[in-house]
């Protein structure tokens, strides 16, 4: 086995910065309409609260259905080609929505935007472009970029809509897609030989074992419910801001203030969760905060300053879960199955967005604003009950070890047994075709010296 420097190479810096930018730009375009569509739909023929909700969430349905096929295509046709195709589809969807004068046209455009489902292909290309020693940090950069894009979208969307209208928001999204194509071909390095990475890619052989695990499907349920309630309430939250006396052009500032304070409030909670191994407790706290804030928003005591207080509580819980749920998935996924677990997790997220928009629109259409909040709160109560009996996740983390290219396949079984015997190593998968060993380790119990000796042992290079 070999140990390689974790310092980033120049090509890795370009790949990480370029692909994180692509991912963030795409999500920015999808999220910018979230705080403005309901407000500007009066100019769209046929608009109803139900159809506005469908327009908000429809991208999630097409994204969920197509992200795995796009990932498979990227294995066959090449990562950059498939990503470019996805960005062109996203561009087409943005143009269709920008030209639409009816809610049906916006729904069609949003569905096309989601059809450019290149998330899995981007992650696979990032894995191709980075060594296993820096891949975790590279993936974390993608995660950070998504969070930043959501926050920027909440601020930028209302400002753009007030300046250039709803169609202008979609035109800006189209321009961003064009810029992404330039970045893809001019900045992201040429794609190397394609390899299936089990810490990133979906593996159909592992699919059944992943979805049958109650601890993992509870986390899938959590991201599903989280994005369901997020999409549902944004059918009506913009109107609550208007009722509170916030002019449309100032909605972005309102979101900036609320989300900025929520982010600051979330950070120490994440640190406590990670450092003291209280991930489950913080997860339950976040769900409870979301549930209470939704009940609060659904009562008469949600006007004036109370509106901002309830939104602050909601987004603190939302940010806390967005930060901790992926970490819990990483800890609980079997060795070598992280990519499959994250694929199911992402699909659950997109389905939640679709159903949330549709459900929120239906509740607003038939029951009014309060029905959206109360319905979402009741769903959150069921979510809290489902998570209550989940065992606390063990203090596990993933580790990937590179094997020497000359390690003979006959020696790999013995190597896997030796790795499994190291104190603190809970699970091992050796993948000959990738020349990698995937480990799940308990950092509190890991015998790092024994693992280092094994890595340096001549027997690990046995032919």
Higher pLDDT, 345 or 459: 345
Instruction: Say if residue 214 is in the same domain as residue 309.
Output: yes
Instruction: Say if residue 109 is in the same domain as residue 217.
Output: no
Instruction: Say if residue 19 is in the same domain as residue 151.
Output: yes
Residue 2 has pLDDT above 50, yes or no: no
Instruction: Say if residue 400 is in the same domain as residue 452.
Output: yes
Instruction: Say if residue 165 is in the same domain as residue 104.
Output: yes
Residue 5 has pLDDT above 80, yes or no: no
- Cα dihedral 344, 321, 87, 24 sign: negative
H or E element, residue 208:
helix 204-211
State the pLDDT confidence band at 200, using cuts at 50, 70 and 90: low
CA atoms within 13 A on the CB side of 383: 29
Which of 363, 393, 423 is the last residue in one of the domains? 393
Residue 190 inside a domain? The answer is: yes
**CATH code (residue 311):** 1.20.1250.20
Which residues span the domain enclosing 405? 396-461
Residue 402 has pLDDT above 80, yes or no: no
Bridge pairing between strands 425-431 and 436-442: antiparallel
Residue 48 has pLDDT above 90, yes or no: yes
| Predicted local distance difference test score (pLDDT) of residue 407 | 57
How many structural domains compose the chain?
3
Distance of CA 174 to the CA centre of its chain: 22
Prediction pTM value? 0.86
């Amino acid at each position: 086995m070999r140990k390689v420097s974790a310092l980033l190479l120049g090509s890795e810096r370009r790949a990480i910065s370029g692909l994180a930018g692509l991912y963030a730009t795409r999500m920015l375009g999808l999220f910018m309409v979230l705080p403005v569509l309901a407000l500007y739909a009066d100019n769209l023929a046929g608009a109803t609260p139900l159809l506005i909700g469908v327009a908000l969430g429809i991208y999630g349905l097409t994204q969920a259905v197509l992200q795995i096929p796009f990932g498979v295509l990227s294995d066959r046709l090449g990562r950059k080609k498939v990503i470019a195709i996805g960005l062109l589809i996203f561009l087409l969807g943005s143009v269709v929505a920008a030209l639409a004068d009816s809610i049906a046209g916006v729904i069609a455009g949003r569905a096309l935007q989601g059809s450019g489902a290149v998330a899995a292909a981007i992650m696979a290309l990032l894995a191709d472009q980075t060594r296993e020693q820096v891949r975790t940090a590279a993936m974390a950069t993608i995660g950070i970029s998504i969070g930043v894009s959501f926050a920027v979208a909440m601020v930028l969307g209302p400002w753009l809509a007030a300046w250039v209208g709803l169609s202008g928001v979609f035109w800006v999204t189209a321009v961003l897609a064009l810029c992404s194509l330039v970045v893809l071909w001019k900045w992201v390095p040429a794609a190397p030989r394609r390899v299936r990475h089990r810490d990133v890619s979906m593996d159909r052989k592992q699919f059944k074992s992943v979805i049958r695990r109650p601890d993992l499907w509870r986390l899938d349920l959590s991201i599903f419910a989280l994005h369901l309630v997020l999409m549902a309430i944004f059918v009506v939250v913009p109107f609550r801001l208007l009722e509170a006396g916030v002019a449309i052009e100032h909605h972005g500032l309102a979101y900036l203030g609320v989300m900025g304070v929520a982010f600051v409030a979330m950070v120490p909670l994440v640190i406590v969760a990670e450092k003291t191994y209280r991930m489950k407790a913080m997860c339950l706290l976040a769900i409870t905060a979301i549930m209470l804030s939704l009940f609060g928003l659904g009562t008469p005591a949600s006007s004036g300053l109370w509106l901002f207080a309830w939104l602050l509580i909601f987004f603190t819980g939302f940010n806390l879960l967005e930060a901790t749920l992926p970490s819990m998935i990483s800890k609980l996924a079997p060795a070598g199955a992280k990519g499959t677990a994250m694929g199911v997790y992402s699909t659950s997220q997109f389905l939640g967005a679709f159903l949330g928009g549709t459900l929120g629109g239906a509740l607003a259409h038939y029951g009014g604003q309060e029905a959206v909040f109360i319905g979402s709160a009741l769903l959150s109560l069921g979510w809290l009950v489902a998570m209550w009996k989940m065992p606390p996740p063990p203090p596990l983390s993933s580790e990937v070890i590179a094997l020497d290219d000359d390690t003979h396949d006959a020696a790999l079984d013995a190597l896997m047994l030796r790795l499994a015997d190291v104190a603190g190593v809970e699970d091992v998968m050796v993948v000959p075709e990738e020349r990698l060993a995937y480990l799940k380790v308990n950092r509190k119990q890991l015998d790092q010296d024994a693992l280092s000796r094994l890595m340096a042992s001549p027997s690990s290079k046995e032919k």
